[in-house]
Amino acid sequence: MRLPLFQCLSPRSTKEALEILDRYKGRVKIIAGGTDIINRLRQRLLSPQYAMTLKGVSDLRGIKRKKGHFLISAATTLREIVESPDIAGFAAAIAESAGLVAAPPIRNVATVGGNLLQNTRCLYYNQSELVRKAAPPCLKQGGKSCAALKGGTRCFSVYQGDLAPSLIAFDARVVLKKAGLARTIPVLDLFSRNGRHPLTIGDDEILTDIIVPIPKGAYGSSYQKLRLRSGLEYPLVSSSVFLSLSKEGVIDRARVVVGAVGPAPTVVEGAAAFLVGKRPAEADVEKAAESAFSASRPIDNLALPGSYRRKMVKVFTKRAIEGALLSLRKAGA
């Protein structure tokens, strides 16, 4: 499928990019690696007047270790995340998330910011223009009801980014900039939980950096992902887990985040009750995973049925918790 006609803009600095967004408010789409947005352009899900590539903006790339945190610039490629010894050593789940995105050729160009800011997906929406015109428009296309859940008045399209669950598990924050202003928010607050308009970033804003705190003491993390093939696939279910230990050797913090079951990653608050306050060998992994199952309500709008994906939430959350516990033991806990 051919791309729609648009004018391509190529800024050389973040300042210039922000000026372009301010000048052409609401008429510009940003292209970083392009691995997600190009398909949306071909399907005519987007038809912008202008497309702005960030390829020439060198100050939006790189990983820097600062005092107490990592600063990951948004146009850093997933390959750079995978190959960073600092990220692998201090934030294993984030490195695992990046390493499980698609296949190496895609990771070579796909960016951290692009993966984080993906739009939601649905079998009834992510189709060619010809296919979409054969049926009444769904809510995400401006229709009156959800095509995946007949009569539904809420959009159930699914957020399928790999990095967000792990970044949320690590309490990461993002820096959003627009002309003359900047704000820093938790990664979790990037998501509106509304499938029609799933992201809270403004049309005139650029995500410039991700701030990942480096936890103190002993901790472990793991990311697990269900997909149909070992490469190319978006997650059909994902789970990221962060655990830390007190000086007394008991789990004092646990965060379980499930992805690809709704329009935003889900923090499973109930899981902590079965992990916190226990020694790693005494953690009730089964019940913690069961709480993730209970908190998830996927429907039939991806390649596998919602009922099966819900069962897999428990399976992959259990694997992620076990992986985090294993990394705790490797750290000498």
**Per-residue pLDDT at 83 exceeds 70:** yes
**Per-residue pLDDT at 333 exceeds 60:** no
Give the torsion sign (CA, 80, 84, 90, 92): positive
Domain hosting residue 186, numbered range: 62-117+158-213
Q: Is residue 43 part of a domain?
A: yes
Check whether residue 184 and residue 231 sit in a common domain.
Answer: no
CA 298/CA 15 separation, integer angstroms: 41
**Per-residue pLDDT at 137 exceeds 60:** yes
Q: What CATH number is attached to the domain comprising 188?
A: 3.30.465.10
Check whether residue 177 and residue 50 sit in a common domain.
Answer: no
CA 238/CA 169 separation, integer angstroms: 12
Check whether residue 67 and residue 196 sit in a common domain.
Answer: yes
Per-residue pLDDT tens digits for 280-301: 999 999 999 999 999 999 999 9
Q: Which of 34, 35, 39 is nearest to 52 (CA)?
A: 34
Q: Is residue 253 part of a domain?
A: yes
Cβ count within 10 A of residue 248: 7
pLDDT interval class at 230 (50, 70, 90): confident
Task: Show Cβ contacts of residue 284 under 8 Å, excluding neighbours closer than 6 positions.
Answer: 274, 275, 278
How wide is the angle at C-alpha 249 spanned by C-alphas 243 and 252, nearest 5°?
40
Q: Is residue 137 part of a domain?
A: no
- DSSP secondary structure, 116-172, as one string: HTPPPB-TTTSS-HHHHTTS--BGGGT-SBBSSSTTBSS---B---SHHHHHHHTT-
Q: Residues 151-173: what's their mean pLDDT?
A: 96
Domain stops at, among 172, 194, 213: 213
CA 90/CA 67 separation, integer angstroms: 13
Check whether residue 167 and residue 305 sit in a common domain.
Answer: no
Give, to the nearest 10 degrees, the angle between helix 306-330 and helix 92-99.
140
pLDDT interval class at 8 (50, 70, 90): very high
**Per-residue pLDDT at 275 exceeds 90:** yes
Pairing mode of beta strands 219-226, 206-213: unpaired
Check whether residue 24 and residue 68 sit in a common domain.
Answer: no
Task: Record the tokens describing residue 68, joined without a space.
Answer: 């107490």
Per-residue pLDDT tens digits for 102-113: 999 999 999 999
Q: Is residue 128 part of a domain?
A: no
Check whether residue 66 and residue 209 sit in a common domain.
Answer: yes
Check whether residue 1 and residue 92 sit in a common domain.
Answer: no
Domain stops at, among 175, 196, 213: 213
Q: Is residue 147 part of a domain?
A: no
Per-residue pLDDT tens digits for 182-208: 999 999 999 999 999 999 999 999 999
Query: Residue holding tokens 């796909």?
Result: 110
Q: What CATH number is attached to the domain comprising 231?
A: 3.30.390.50
For residue 323, give the 3-state DSSP assignment: helix
pTM: 0.96
Q: Please give the DSSP secondary-structure letter assigned to residue 275.
A: T
Q: Residues 234-250: what's their mean pLDDT?
A: 96
**Per-residue pLDDT at 330 exceeds 80:** no
Check whether residue 108 and residue 172 sit in a common domain.
Answer: yes
CA 298/CA 220 separation, integer angstroms: 28
Q: Residues 234-249: what's their mean pLDDT?
A: 96
Check whether residue 282 and residue 203 sit in a common domain.
Answer: no
pLDDT number for residue 332: 53
Q: Is residue 136 part of a domain?
A: no
Q: What CATH number is attached to the domain comprising 40?
A: 3.30.43.10
Is residue 144 packed enough to be buried (19+ CB in 10 Å), middle (13-18) or exposed (0-12)?
A: exposed
Structural domains of the chain, count: 3
Query: Residue holding tokens 């928010």?
Result: 185
Check whether residue 70 and residue 190 sit in a common domain.
Answer: yes
Task: Record the tokens describing residue 325, joined without a space.
Answer: 């516990």
Q: Is residue 204 part of a domain?
A: yes
Domain stops at, among 13, 33, 55: 55
Q: Residues 94-123: what's their mean pLDDT?
A: 96
Check whether residue 72 and residue 209 sit in a common domain.
Answer: yes
Q: Is residue 151 part of a domain?
A: no
Cβ count within 10 A of residue 5: 8
Is residue 281 packed enough to be buried (19+ CB in 10 Å), middle (13-18) or exposed (0-12)?
A: exposed
Check whether residue 38 and residue 70 sit in a common domain.
Answer: no
pLDDT interval class at 151 (50, 70, 90): confident
